Amino acid sequence: MNAPATFTPNPKMEYRRLGRSGLKVSVLSFGSWVTFDTQLNDDMALNCMQNAWDAGCNFFDNAEAYAGGESEAIMGRVIKQLGWRRQDYVLSTKVFWGIEGGVPNMGNTLNRKYLHHSIEGCLDRLQVDFVDLLFCHRADPNTPLEETVWAMSDLVERGKVLYWGTSEWTADEIRAAYEIAERHHLHKPVMEQPQYNMLERKRVEVEYKRLYEDLGLGTTIWSPLASGVLTGKYLDGVPDDSRAALPGYSWLAERLTAPKAQETVKKLIPIADELGCTLAQMALAWCTKNPNVSTVITGASKASQVTENFKALDVIPLLTPEVMARIKTVLKS
């Protein structure tokens, strides 16, 4: 499969600025959590990423901890095989947990030494000289925040990273990091990667509300389908080919079949039916209607799912204020 020499933007795709930065990311993007390695080999991952690219996606998300580093390695090999120009795509990864077991300073930390070593491993596996975005995958209560901010800013100075941010940090932690950077004239955190979907709204809509205006925070939201709940396919239980059926993911199966979530799904399906789309497409389009969402990270275990997910671009215009009000009523019930 040959990729085009240069990226061709999709006229249906919106390319939003990442917070107050000048960087533009496709409003729908593609990530590798859970699926790469556990469900997707190189060939399947290539087909998924190519389909996303063809739909106008320019942002691809990963993390050091996904599949113990193999997710980054797969993505790196795929991008090399596709021959994409480095200037045409935005690439991210996340660091915190590490992949070296209990080696001191190499996991569950954001200290300077770990960040110095981990970025080198990430770049090696991804086969790039730099990542566009680097996220602190969780906050580290055992390392002085000032040390982490200095170290992340240094990675930007060294050209290893273009923008840095956080994932699942509290609003207070993000603001504290920003103020440290501002006080010392360092590179500030630009973006946060929180969970956000119809069933998980409080952090993005309430807790971070002041950060968008005060700090210009961008968001690259994950789990827009609530790990698959908002596809509606779990109303009759967990299929054998689902990621929730994988060993070690029993916690996910419990979340997917939670009674309250299932009741909400049943009430949302008729609205999607009236729009002529799937519940998943409506749920993805709904996330994009939040102006503080820079990009919605989608995932898939097969190429056909990528194609179906990106059809959400056609649904976005259908979510009129009246439809959004109906959905809001369901979500509040």
Whole-number percent of the chain with pLDDT over 70: 97
- Mean pLDDT of all residues in 9-27: 97
Check pLDDT > 70 for residue 271: yes
Check pLDDT > 70 for residue 2: no
Longest dimension (CA), the chain: 56
Q: Enter the pTM of the model.
A: 0.94
Query: Which of the four pLDDT bands, split at 50, 70 and 90, describes residue 243?
Result: low
Mean pLDDT of the residues in the chain: 94
Q: Is 24 helix (H, G, I), strand (E, B) or coil?
A: strand
CB burial of 251-280 (b: ≥16 within 10 Å; e: otherwise) equals: ebbebbbeeebeebbeebeebbeebebbbb
* Residue 66 annotated to the active site: yes
Check pLDDT > 90 for residue 10: yes
- The 10s digit of each residue's pLDDT in 221-239 is 999 999 899 999 888 877 7
- Mean pLDDT of all residues in 107-136: 98
Alpha-carbon gap, residue 200 to 190, rounded angstroms: 22
Check pLDDT > 90 for residue 244: no
- Please give the full DSSP string across 146-204, using - where no structure is assigned: HHHHHHHHHHHHTTSEEEEEESS--HHHHHHHHHHHHHTTPPPP-EE--B-BTTB-HII
Check pLDDT > 90 for residue 40: no
Per-residue pLDDT at 3? 46
Out of 15, 66, 178, 208, the active site residue is 66
Domain ranges of the chain: 15-233+281-319
Per-residue pLDDT at 256? 78
Place of tokens 């790469």: 36
CATH 3.40.50.1820 fits 15-233+281-319, yes or no: no
Alpha-carbon gap, residue 216 to 190, rounded angstroms: 8
Check pLDDT > 60 for residue 4: no
C-alpha gyration radius of the chain? 19
- The 10s digit of each residue's pLDDT in 130-154 is 999 999 999 999 999 999 999 999 9
Query: Which of the four pLDDT bands, split at 50, 70 and 90, describes residue 95?
Result: very high
- Mean pLDDT of all residues in 176-200: 98
User: Where does the chain have alpha helices with state H?
Assistant: 42-54, 70-82, 112-126, 145-157, 171-183, 202, 209-215, 250-256, 259-275, 279-288, 303-310, 321-332
